Amino acid sequence: MQTLDEIVAESPVFGGLEPAQLQLIAGCAHNAAFSKGERIFREGDAADTFYLVRRGRVALTAHVPGRGDVTIETVEPGEVLGWSWLFPPYTWHFDARAVEDAGVVAFDGACLRGKCDADHALGFELMRRFAQVMIDRLQHTRTLLLDVYGHGPGS
Amino acid sequence: MATAPAAETAPRGAMAPEPYRVASRAPETVDTWTLLLEPLGAPIVPAPGQFNMLYAFGVGEVPISTSAAPEPGGELVHTIRAVGPVTQKLCATEPGDVIGVRGPFGTTWPLEEARGGDLVIVAGGIGLAPVRPAVYHALTHRDDYGSLCVLVGARTPSDLLYVRELEDWRGRFDVEVGVTVDSAVGDWHGRVGVVPRLIPGAAFDPAATTALVVGPEIMMTFTAKALLEQGVPKERIYVSMERNMRCGLGHCGHCQLGPMLICRDGPVFRYDEMEALMGVREL
């Protein structure tokens, strides 16, 4: 069974960090599990945590009056769930729910924010890596906005 | 060009439509139907990737890719999305109605060239229909290929084609099936996101992979980029192009794309032949 230190070191988002930085990040982490259908966070709530999905699938949803909960993206194993912990006002923009039983590593974002303030090299690295996460999500969202199947020609 | 060369001479049935009777009409989605057509004359035999011109008498003709290998009795299978007058008329046919068919036209999926390597098939929206014959070919000749990945994207769960077949394929131990939709409500437990995002997680050897990609052009562009990022050589990525095809023979020029006539030189092209043309806004 992998230790938290190993999981953090091997994750795509933290891979390549200095051992001391990895140890510091792993010190803010713990394993967690969510049952199928369980809500992980809710829009507007304080974003003090972020997650590394290890197994299962998590849906990011928005409640649309008249349509119910619309899934706008799923987060798969190896991917990061949540970046709102890093930027004011530190609140979630969407809901997150486990589509199936999910195992995650939960990181104390508030704790890490404090460590980033005290260690700017760590802060820069985390900002750079989460900027990449956000860019990926932005590109994904832009592609979705194209609605490529909406008016496509017939086969 | 590695795809099968266009015929030097027009195939039989190229100029005058052959009569076909609608044997059955099955709904796939709210606006998409699959027609089983039985020949009343000599059968037309398309290969995977090719298309026929389907003629709704009195309304017009449209190019529709074959969506299954020809049946033993020469029947054709075409999946059609009702988006215009001709396709709406075709989708509204009833068993017993007669339509005209010209063809087969165009190049084929490079299934022979792909033998011995991995095969990644990526389809978006109704693009699963033109590539379905390639999937069946690979399943029938499973030992000829290494990994077989079928990655499918659709707008919503209710827009997915051939759901039962996707479930069957997913149930096999020798096929990796990935399905994603752009958005979902209700009890969808599958993946939500664009289809290129399925590619990094699929199990294939990029250097030994042939990729077949079909869907809206922008989806094919993003998918090709994702395949290139994984290391699939440009010349091993194939796309199926679509333009306003009228004659099917390369005579009328309606489907011209730069130096290419899609009906004659395509619809299946190597991506390295198409990449520059797909990026020209004026074309």
Would you call A152 and B125 a contact, using CB atoms and an 8 Å cutoff?
Answer: yes
CA separation for the pair A82, B176 (Å, rounded): 29
Kindly tell me if the per-residue pLDDT of B271 is higher than 90: yes
Q: How confident is the model at residue B280 (pLDDT cuts 50, 70, 90)?
A: confident
Higher pLDDT, B162 or B186: B162
| Look-up of token digits 């409500």 | B185
User: Which chain B residues have any C-beta within 8 angstroms of a chain A C-beta?
Assistant: 62, 64-65, 67, 79-81, 83-84, 87, 124-127, 129-130, 153-155, 159, 182-186, 188-194, 196-197, 201, 214-216, 218-219, 222, 242
- Structural domains of chain B sorted by starting position, each given as residue range(s) with its CATH number in brackets: 18-105 (2.40.30.10), 118-240 (3.40.50.80)
For tokens 């980029």, the residue is B225
Say whether B281 sits in a helix, a strand or coil: coil
Total number of domains in chain A: 1
Task: Please compute the mean of the pLDDT values over residues B253-269 and round it to a whole number.
Answer: 86
Q: Is residue A153 part of a domain?
A: no
Output the six-digit token pair for B162: 């051939």
Q: What is the DSSP string of B217-278?
A: HHHHHHHHHHHHHHT--GGGEEEE-----SSSSSSS-TTEETTEEHHHH-SEEEHHHHHHHH
Can you tell me the distance from the alpha carbon of A96 to that of A88, in angstroms, rounded to the nearest whole number?
A: 19
pLDDT band at B277 (very low <50, low <70, confident <90, very high): confident
Amino acid identity of A7?
A: I
A140-154, B2-16, B70-84, B230-244: the lowest-pLDDT one: B2-16
Residue A87 lies in a domain: yes
ipTM surpasses cut 0.85: no
Average pLDDT over residues B126-147: 95
- Say if CB B94 and CB B9 are below 8 A apart: no
Residue pair A50/A29 in contact (Cβ under 8 Å)? The answer is no
The answer to the question of residue A152 being in a domain is no
Range B84-89 average pLDDT: 95
Would you say residue B283 has pLDDT above 70?
Answer: no
The pLDDT of residue B9 is 56
> What is the mean predicted confidence (pLDDT) over A125-129?
93
How many angstroms separate the Cα of A119 from the Cα of each of A20, A21, A28, A112, A124? 12, 10, 15, 10, 9
Mean pLDDT of all residues in A132-147 = 89
Q: Say which CATH number the domain at A53 has.
A: 2.60.120.10
Of B133, B270, B138, B267, which is closest to residue B204 (Cα–Cα)? Answer: B138
Task: Give the nearest partner residue to B155 out of A100, A143, A149, using CB atoms.
Answer: A149
**Quick check: is A40 in a domain?**
yes
pLDDT at B187 > cutoff 50: yes
Tell me how many residue pairs between chain A and chain B have CB atoms under 8 A apart.
Answer: 84
Average pLDDT of the residues in B12-17: 77
Task: Please compute the mean of the pLDDT values over residues B107-124 and round it to a whole number.
Answer: 96
Q: Are A86 and A109 in contact (CB under 8 A)?
A: yes
Which A residues in the span 39-58 are in contact with B, Cβ-Cβ below 8 Å?
57
Question: According to the model, what pLDDT value does residue A155 have?
Answer: 37
Residue A82 domain-assigned (yes or no): yes
The owner of tokens 């982490």 is: A29
Averaged pLDDT score across all residues of chain B: 90
Beta-carbon separation of B192 and A143 below 8 A: no
> What range does the domain containing A127 cover?
4-145
Distance from CA of A155 to the nearest CA of B (A): 6
pLDDT value at B279 more than 90: no
Cα separations in angstroms, A147 against A41, B87, B182, B183: 28, 22, 8, 10
3 state SS of B109 = coil
- Band (pLDDT 50/70/90 cuts) for residue A131 is very high
Average pLDDT over residues A11-26: 91
* Summary mean pLDDT of chain A: 90
A101 at B interface, C-beta within 8 A: no
